[in-house]
Amino acid sequence: MEYIFGLGFGGIIIGLIGLSMLMHFVPFPLWLASMLSGVSVGLWELFSMRVFRNINPYEVVIPLLTAKFADVPVTLSQIQQHKISGGNVDRVISALIAASKANIELDWNTATSIDLAGRDVLQAVQTSVNPRVIQTKLIEAVAQDGIQVQAIALVTVRTDISRLVGSAGEDTVLARVGEGIVTAIGRARDYREVLEHPDNITQAVEAPGLDRGPAYEILSIDICEIDVGSNIGARLQIDQANADKQIAQARAEQRRAEAIAMQQSMKAKVQEMRAKVVEAEADVPAALAEALANGNFTVGDYYKVQNLIADTRMRESLAGNTAPETARLA
């Protein structure tokens, strides 16, 4: 009796395990829900998804039922293909439903291509319905009077789904707006003109059509903050004056060095001339001895010359010129 009871209990356990495995590979509740919803999904199709395609049937059939109730034309094959391609089925179905309710033209191929391109197709549809406001960074530009002006702008954009694939994004829009603001401020003659009429900046920025190419349509550009920065013109003039001053100092230093070199050269020439004088004076005794030996010059003549030299020095002393002979030569 106990043996029979054990066999029955074991059979029940085996049966439950087999049933759970069967429900795993063939989800009957999902099949029943699809049949009651009017979506034809066979048991073999559900089994093939799990076994051969490695797809969770719930991740495919549930979005199909959601699209069916929202009256969005989507087939099971299309959902499977997008799922195998690595796309986000739930996001695509939600985007299609939102576009259908908002009367926005969006078909399955466009939605899946946007999703596979890495863009959020649901956010794109939401931005098409509810425009988005993005803020630029602090933009600094200089007016013609040299005063820096700082501005921050709010850009209201709306997604253009037809240009979403292969088009530039928000960064491009912000870069173009920043470039336009810098250009508009640079054209102003005075910074006061920019502060008094900031709407001139937005008009100048909106005029060229900055939304050509990006996936976003610019609805408006508003300056939310504007302020005066540094005096760039004065700073540049100061820098130029400092540079000119350094150049002048360098040239003056060069002239000073040349003058010092010339002074040293003249001193060297003076020393050279003094050496020549000393050399000539050294030859006087020898020449005098030779003249005395040859009889061309007598001792009386020598004393007369010495008396003349002494008389000359006395006169110079009386005249107040006490500078020695060597100093006069120098």
Mean pLDDT (whole number) for 65-71? 81
Instruction: Decide which of 152 and 213 is more confident.
Output: 152
Instruction: Decide which of 253 and 160 is more confident.
Output: 253
Q: What is the pLDDT of residue 53?
A: 64
Exposed, middle or buried by CB within 10 Å (0-12, 13-18, 19+), for 50? Answer: middle
Q: What is the pLDDT of residue 44?
A: 61
Averaged confidence pLDDT in the chain: 78
Instruction: Decide which of 151 and 206 is more confident.
Output: 151
Query: With left for phi above 0 and alpha for psi between -120 and 50, is residue 190 left, alpha or beta?
Result: beta
Nearest to 159 by CA among 99, 88, 113: 99
Taking 80 as the threshold, does the pLDDT of residue 24 lie above it?
A: no
pLDDT grade, residue 73 (50/70/90)? confident
Taking 60 as the threshold, does the pLDDT of residue 9 lie above it?
A: no
Tell me the helices (H) and strands (E) count for the chain, helix number first.
14, 4
Q: What is the pLDDT of residue 330?
A: 38
Give yes or no for a contact between 204 and 184, defined as CB atoms under 8 angstroms apart: yes
Mean pLDDT (whole number) for 2-7? 48
Residue type, 92: V
Q: What is the pLDDT of residue 13?
A: 59
Nearest to 309 by CA among 323, 325, 297: 325
Compute φ and ψ for 41, nearest 5 degrees. -130, 110
Mean pLDDT (whole number) for 277-290? 77
CATH class of 132-231: alpha beta
Distance CA 278, CA 270 (A): 12
Give yes or no for a contact between 74 and 67, defined as CB atoms under 8 angstroms apart: yes
Q: What is the pLDDT of residue 278?
A: 80
Q: What is the pLDDT of residue 11?
A: 52
State the span(s) of the chain assigned CATH 3.30.479.30. Answer: 132-231
Most confident of 41-55, 188-202, 212-226: 188-202
Per-residue model confidence as pLDDT tens digits over 105-161: 888 888 888 888 888 888 888 888 888 888 989 988 888 888 888 999 998 888 877
Mean pLDDT (whole number) for 35-46? 65
Instruction: Decide which of 169 and 182 is more confident.
Output: 182
Q: What is the pTM of this model?
A: 0.54
Distances (CA, A) of 302 to 139, 150, 278, 296, 299: 100, 99, 21, 11, 5
